[in-house]
Structure 1
Amino acid sequence: MNRLTDPPYMSFPLRIGEQGAAAADRRSHVRQQIEQVLFTNPNERVFRPDFGAGLKQLVFEPNSSVLWEITRKRISSSLAEALRGEVDPKSLEVEVRGEGEKLLITVSYALAAIGRGERHEFLV
């Protein structure tokens, strides 16, 4: 592992093993950050009240294109703030669409340090 382009990060959720805190590579770390943003409600963190997209709050909302667009904008702004420095901001793309009673969220980006493209899907 090249420590300049892929330094070790503490894994989320934090796990302690025989070797100490579990580590994650850059790709895993960014994915874990995205999960934290998606599933944390605004005002849930005391010192970062604006952190989070609050997807848990959408459980009882009607699954329509209006909801998809509002959710896409909320996620995009939250991720742009949370991933600053890790992800090239011009490459960050969020797509939200409904699949039955669920939302499919696709997040695409390029890692800033190495320019490698990534794409993750989350079903909510």
Structure 2
Amino acid sequence: MRRTDCAFPFRIDPVSGQAAQSAYTRHVDEMIRQVLLTTPGERIDLPEFGCGLRRLLFAPNNETLRATTQILVQKNLTRWLADQIVLRNVAVTAGADDDESQLQVRVEYTLLETQSLQTTEILVR
């Protein structure tokens, strides 16, 4: 039997009338996106949760910002998802065509349950 978990964002499946489900691999991808895009303080029950990548868009997009973002992503994914993934690599670059108004974050990780190598990419703009 394939493992499933609640989909993110939470929604009701129109067919079953129950909480929508995601395959486990997709669910972990969704959790990574949730950690990266949630701003600390946004969740009342977990005020320290999240990276807050969107707020970095207004900083000068240079090597210093990208290195800081890489450390921030590594720290938060390790803190919040260490029981689900082993981080392999985090790469932060300017967006497509070196668009300085965007950050491209690529996270490579091993999914602990299946020992499969996975990648999640997020374009923050």
Alignment TM-score, normalising by the size of structure 1: 0.88
SS of 2:28 mapped into structure 1: helix
- The match for 1:14 is 10
**How far, CA to CA, are the matches of 1:85 and 1:38 in structure 2?**
17
**Conserved 8 A contact 1:40-1:52:** yes
What is the number of equivalent residue pairs in this alignment? 118
Unaligned runs of 5+ in 1: none
**How far, CA to CA, are the matches of 1:39 and 1:65 in structure 2?**
21
SS of 1:15 mapped into structure 2: coil
- The match for 1:107 is 107
**Conserved 8 A contact 1:8-1:26:** yes
Give aligned-pair identity as a percent: 34
Counterparts of 1:12-51 in structure 2, within 5 Å, are 12-17=8-13, 18-19=15-16, 20-51=18-49
Q: Flag as ranges the 4+ runs of structure 1 deviating above 2 A.
A: none
> Which amino acid is the alignment partner of residue 31 of structure 2?
Q
**How far, CA to CA, are the matches of 1:29 and 1:120 in structure 2?**
12
Alignment TM-score, normalising by the size of structure 2: 0.88
Correspondence 1:93 to 2:92 = no
SS of 1:96 mapped into structure 2: strand
Task: Say what the alpha-carbon RMSD is for the aligned residues.
Answer: 1.2
**How far, CA to CA, are the matches of 1:47 and 1:41 in structure 2?**
13
**Conserved 8 A contact 2:108-2:118:** yes
Counterparts of 1:42-61 in structure 2, within 5 Å, are 42-61=40-59
Shift of 1:59: 2.0
